[in-house]
């Protein structure tokens, strides 16, 4: 649209339309309009069926007048053929027409804003937000179940990760053969079943898994196994799953093994503690880098001051 | 000059049959029409440019009756002759 078509492109289109070669089409176009120019130079008007009529105007600024053929004009104006000239009533004022124009503009802008809203609504939620919300739901469910367990004395509604892990381990150590504890652990929902339904997106960052790999703590190791299981259940195409040494998890109690198989107790709160560790680590790293830069700047300024 | 005479002369100049020239002429007209329908200008070197011009709907007043008429949009093809053609014709 609003482009200037050169003769080369015109000849290509003509060749495709007429079924001849490009050179023949270009040669025909040149001969065609050269002959028209000659006839006009001789003072003749030229009528081309389907194209229009070329006449001389007598003006030096624009000596040729082109009158398109009626069929050509009708075909070009076919999109507007449904409109006809309308005689407006005297009651229609220019103010009313301006109002109609402004309303049309408002409608156009409203359509654009609606489209943008639709686009915003179509955009998926952030994966991290979904993961966090799902983890929060699972955490509250887990805490409630912990509170319902008679053998475990959990008073706080929000139990940190380490405390949950310690409680589970301590209970298991004290009551290794207690059936109630085992049944309580067994009754806890499987994370894979919950997460597969709620965590359709990427559950955990790779950095989190890497952080988990470096941990040797028993509680964190159990958490890692859960995180890895969650990731396997949701993203089975992971090329290199993190390797977890499950032998370090075995303390000697059979209940711990069951806790590993059903690691809901310490699965969800693992990420907040890891995030906190990451934040502290990055905070201290940034602090050290900042102090180093400041010291270098101060030293440079001192050297400059001494030399000057 | 009418169309048949033109096609005959062009056929003689190009060494083709008049029917073939007629087919090519109609194809050329339709090709130019297609470009102009897309509001693209077709430039012929040494001859001129077929420039489509779109006019939006507008109000016009009939001077005799004073009635206002709302005219629909339209596309008209304007031809601008090239400098070569103008010089050729003004000689």
B61-74: pLDDT as tens digits = 888 888 888 888 99
pLDDT band at A290 (very low <50, low <70, confident <90, very high): very high
Q: What is the pLDDT of residues A206-259, one digit of tens each?
A: 444 444 444 444 454 444 444 444 444 444 444 444 444 444 444 444 444 444
**Given a cut of 70, is residue A188 above it in pLDDT?**
no
Q: Residue range A163-167: average pLDDT?
A: 43
How far is it, in rounded angstroms, from Cα B28 to Cα B30? 5
Supply the range of the domain harboring residue B53.
42-91
A9, A29, A42, A90: best to mutate for the B interface, most B CBs within 10 A: A29
- Give the CATH number, domain containing residue B61: 4.10.520.10
Number of domains in chain B: 2
Q: Residue range B75-90: average pLDDT?
A: 91
Q: What percent of chain A shows pLDDT beyond 90? A: 25
Whether residue B70 sits in one domain with residue B33: no
Whether residue B72 sits in one domain with residue B31: no
DSSP states along chain A: ---EE-HHHHHHHHHHHHT--HHHHHHHHHHHHHHHHHHHHTT--EEETTTEEEEE-S-SSS-EEEEE-HHHHHHHTGGGTT---EEPPTT--HHHHHHHHHHHHHHHHHHHHHHHHHHHHHSPPPHHHHHHHHHHHHHHHHHHHHHH-TTS----SS--HHHHHHHHHHHHHH-TT-HHHHHHHHHSPPHHHHHHHH--S--S-HHHHHHHHT---HHHHHHHHHHHHHHHHH-TT-SSPPP--GGGG--S-HHHHHHHHSTTTTTTTHHHHHHHHHHHHHHHHHHHHHHHHHHHHHHHHHHHHHH-
Whether residue B31 sits in one domain with residue B49: no
Q: Sign (positive/negative) of CA torsion A285, A291, A293, A295?
A: negative
A100 shares contact with chain B (CB less than 8 Å): no
Judge residue B13's burial from the number of C-beta atoms within 10 Å of its C-beta, 0-12 exposed, 13-18 middle, 19 or more buried: middle
What does pLDDT average to over chain B? 90
Whether residue B30 sits in one domain with residue B67: no
Whether residue B53 sits in one domain with residue B22: no
Q: What is the pLDDT of residues A100-152, one digit of tens each?
A: 767 766 666 665 555 455 444 444 444 555 555 555 555 555 555 555 554 44
For B45, name the nearest residue in chain A, comparing CA atoms only: A7
Q: What is the pLDDT of residues A57-107, one digit of tens each?
A: 888 888 999 999 999 999 998 888 888 888 888 777 777 777 776 776 666
Whether residue B53 sits in one domain with residue B14: no
Give the pLDDT score at A302. 94
How far is it, in rounded angstroms, from Cα A68 to Cα A47? 10
Whether residue B67 sits in one domain with residue B31: no
Q: Are the Cβ atoms of B88 and A41 closer than 8 angstroms? A: yes
Q: Residue range A39-44: average pLDDT?
A: 90
Whether residue B18 sits in one domain with residue B46: no
Q: What is the pLDDT of residues B11-50, one digit of tens each?
A: 999 998 999 999 999 999 999 999 999 999 999 999 999 9
Please identify among residues 56-85 of chain A the ones whose CB lies closer than 8 Å to any CB of chain B. Answer: 56, 60-66, 68-69, 72-73, 75-77, 80, 83-85
B34, B44, B87, B91: best to mutate for the A interface, most A CBs within 10 A: B44
Whether residue B49 sits in one domain with residue B17: no
Whether residue B90 sits in one domain with residue B48: yes
Residue among A76, A176, A248, A128 nearest B40 (CA): A76
Whether residue B54 sits in one domain with residue B88: yes
pLDDT band at A53 (very low <50, low <70, confident <90, very high): very high
Q: 10 Å Cβ neighbour count for A4?
A: 12
Give the pLDDT score at A136. 56
Judge residue A218's burial from the number of C-beta atoms within 10 Å of its C-beta, 0-12 exposed, 13-18 middle, 19 or more buried: middle
Give the pLDDT score at A11. 93
Q: Residue range A257-264: average pLDDT?
A: 44
Question: Between the CA of residue A31 and those of A17, A40, A193, B1, B34, what are the distances in Å?
Answer: 18, 14, 79, 16, 21
Give the pLDDT score at A131. 52
**Given a cut of 90, is residue A29 above it in pLDDT?**
yes
**Given a cut of 50, is residue A305 above it in pLDDT?**
yes
Residue among B64, B50, B30, B20 nearest A67 (CA): B50
**Residues from chain B contacting residue A1 (CB–CB below 8 Å):** 38-40
Give the pLDDT score at A109. 61
pLDDT band at B10 (very low <50, low <70, confident <90, very high): very high
| Domain A7-80 top-level CATH class | few secondary structures
pLDDT band at B59 (very low <50, low <70, confident <90, very high): confident
């Amino acid at each position: 649209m609003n482009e200037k078509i050169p003769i080369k492109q015109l000849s290509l289109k003509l060749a495709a339309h007429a079924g001849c070669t490009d050179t023949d089409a270009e040669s025909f176009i040149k001969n065609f309009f050269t002959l028209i120019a000659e006839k006009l130079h001789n003072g003749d008007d030229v009528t081309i069926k389907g194209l229009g009529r070329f006449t001389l105007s007598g003006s030096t600024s624009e000596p040729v007048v082109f009158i398109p053929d009626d069929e050509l004009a009708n075909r070009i104006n076919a999109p507007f053929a449904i409109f006809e000239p309308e005689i407006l009533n005297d009651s229609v004022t220019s103010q009313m027409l301006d109002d109609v124009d402004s309303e049309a503009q408002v409608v156009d802008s409203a359509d654009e804003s609606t489209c943008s809203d639709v686009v915003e609504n179509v955009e998926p939620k952030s994966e991290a937000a979904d993961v966090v919300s799902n983890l929060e739901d699972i955490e509250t469910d887990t805490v409630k179940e912990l509170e319902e367990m008679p053998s475990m004395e959990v008073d706080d509604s929000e139990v940190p990760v380490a405390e949950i892990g310690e409680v589970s381990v301590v209970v298991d150590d004290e009551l290794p053969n207690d059936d109630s504890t085992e049944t309580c652990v067994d009754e806890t929902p499987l994370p894979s079943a919950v997460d597969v339904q709620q965590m359709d997106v990427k559950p955990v960052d790779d950095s989190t898994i890497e952080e988990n790999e470096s941990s040797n703590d028993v509680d964190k190791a159990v958490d890692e196994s859960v995180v890895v299981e969650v990731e396997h259940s949701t993203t089975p195409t992971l090329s290199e799953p993190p390797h977890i040494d499950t032998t370090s998890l075995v303390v000697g109690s059979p209940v711990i093994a069951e806790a590993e198989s059903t690691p809901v107790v310490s699965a969800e709160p693992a990420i907040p503690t890891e995030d906190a560790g990451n934040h502290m680590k990055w905070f201290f790293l940034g602090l050290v880098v900042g102090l180093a830069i400041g010291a270098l700047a101060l030293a440079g300024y001192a050297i400059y001051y001494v030399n000057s | 000059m009418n169309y048949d005479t033109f096609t005959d002369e062009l056929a003689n100049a190009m060494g083709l049959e008049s029917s073939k020239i007629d087919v090519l002429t109609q194809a050329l007209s339709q090709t130019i029409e297609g470009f102009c329908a897309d509001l693209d200008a077709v430039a012929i070197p040494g001859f001129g440019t077929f420039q489509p011009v779109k006019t939006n709907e507008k109000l016009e007043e009939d001077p005799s009756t004073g009635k206002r008429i709302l005219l629909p949009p339209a596309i008209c093809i304007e031809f601008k002759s090239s400098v070569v053609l103008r010089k050729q014709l003004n000689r």
